Amino acid sequence: MSIEDKIKAAAKDAEGKLQAAAGELTGDQKMKAEGEVKQAQASAMNAAADVKDKAQNLLDGIKNAASDAIDKVKEKLD
């Protein structure tokens, strides 16, 4: 997850927490619900970034394994 993505998710979460708290204090259930939705969006942003990171790590592992296999074949041919 890039720093920019982390900052965006953290900002969305903080915004949601503040909005939900304000809704709770004022009795505005719509505001509270909107804040909770923003918190859920922040969680989804973090989850998506984690999946992206894991996919990139898997791809890097596959590339490294393929490179190692090619090197071994070259060694045997030499």
Query: In 3D, which of 38, 44, 45 has the Cα closest to residue 20?
Result: 38
CA atoms of 21 and 30, how far apart (whole Å): 12
Tell me the residue length of the chain.
78
4-23 CB burial, b ≥16 within 10 A, e <16: eeeeebeebbebbeebbeeb
Confidence (pLDDT) at 2 = 80
Note the pTM of the prediction, 2 decimals.
0.72
Other Cβ atoms less than 10 A from the Cβ of 35: the count is: 21
pLDDT in tens, 48-72: 988 998 999 999 999 999 999 999 9
Confidence (pLDDT) at 56 = 93
Cβ distance 57 to 65 under 8 Å?
A: no
